[in-house]
A and B are shown apart, each in its own frame.
Chain A
Amino acid sequence: MMTSLGPYASFIVTSYAAVALVVVVLIGWIMLDYRSQTERLRELERSGVTRRSGRGAADRS
């Protein structure tokens, strides 16, 4: 594979590897952020703090 890419194979492979790495880091960061935010939200709701739209009518009156 490397030989078919000619004398500049290292430049080509490094470019593709860098793109793959950055995209994977971006996806991982977004997924971890989602998990962290949903977990924090769940903790807050478990402690009794709820959104206005999530509160019952009795609580609002």
Chain B
Amino acid sequence: MTLIDLANPSRFLALTARVLPWLAGATVILLAIGLYQSALAPDDYQQGATVKIMFIHVPNAWLSMFVWGVMSIASLGTLVWRHPLADVAAKAAAPIGAAFTFLALLTGSLWGRPMWGTYWEWDARLTSVLILFLMYLGLMALWRAVDDPSRAARAAAVLTLVGAINLPIIKFSVEWWNTLHQPASVMRMGGSTLDKSFLIPLLVMAIAFTLLFVTLHLAAMRNEILRRRVRSLQMMQASRVAFPSAGSRRDNASNEVGAA
């Protein structure tokens, strides 16, 4: 099956029906392995047992940026290639990305209190991630504010691409400015500085959370296609009531994504 085949919402729905149970199963297994390894990981010589927060904080922080990256690619798909599923993908990813970003902020704050002596500091890393969270909420509000999905899609795509400027700012904030947040210790030139006893559970949890995102995203995309199908059928029903003989209006209403 090629990318062009997936442009057909019905084929996409058939694919998700086949793939979702496998993805969900793989996610549960990897999460169980990751949590088991995290529980067995030794205490850090400086941080003690609070290092265990890293195994959930870091995957959520990575995903907060990864999801915006996925939405940025989808936005290019909306604006440049006009792929029928691109704005469906972007819209479906936003609440999931917002949830991961919220968790990154919350777990970071709960890790910061015992380690830094404060829940919050207005430094570059924390502030730029908070801005990312607010941008997710703004996008979700924009999708809700505009009735016509195609108009909302174009506005949201532009906003998403502009917001992507924040991603390198988040990534390099710990190098460009003096921050309370530690510098990168996994994705850095010269390799990871983490010991294997921490690195392996962290990578397993990162893969598990990424699989969780893929699973939830496909399921949310399926819901969005169904929602648009419902909307187009409601428009057809309304036009039948208002104009009983207007067959052309009925067909126009079914031209949206999900109606085919």
Which residues of A are interface residues toward B (Cβ below 8 A)? 4-9, 11-12, 14-16, 18-19, 22-23, 26-27, 29-31, 33-34, 37-38, 40-41, 44-45, 47, 49-53
Contact = CB atoms under 8 A, between A and B. Distances in A.
A44 to B, nearest CB: 4
B216 A30 contact: yes
B236 interface: yes
B60 A33 contact: no
Contacts of A31: 219
Contacts, number: 100
B110 interface: yes
Contacts of B226: 34, 37-38, 41
B254 to A, nearest CB: 4
B155 to A, nearest CB: 23
Given A41-B226, A41-B233, A52-B260, A12 B216 contact: no
A26 B254 CA distance: 30
Contact of A47 (B102, B227, B237, B251): B237
B151 interface: no
B234 interface: yes
B110 A15 contact: yes
Interface in B89-115: 95-96, 99, 102-103, 106-107, 110-111, 113-114
Contacts of A4: 49
B53 A11 contact: yes
Main secondary structure of the interface of B (DSSP, over half): helix
Interface string B155-172: 000000000000000000
A61 to B, nearest CB: 11
A15 B53 contact: yes
Contacts of B229: 37, 41, 51
B96 A26 contact: yes
Contact of B49 (A6, A34, A49): A6
Contacts of B114: 7-8, 11
A23 B220 contact: no
28 contacts: A6-B43, A6-B49, A7-B48, A11-B111, A12-B49, A12-B52, A12-B53, A15-B56, A15-B57, A15-B110, A19-B60, A23-B99, A27-B216, A30-B216, A33-B220, A33-B223, A38-B226, A41-B226, A41-B229, A44-B230, A44-B233, A44-B237, A49-B234, A49-B236, A51-B229, A51-B232, A52-B259, A53-B260
Contacts of A53: 10, 260
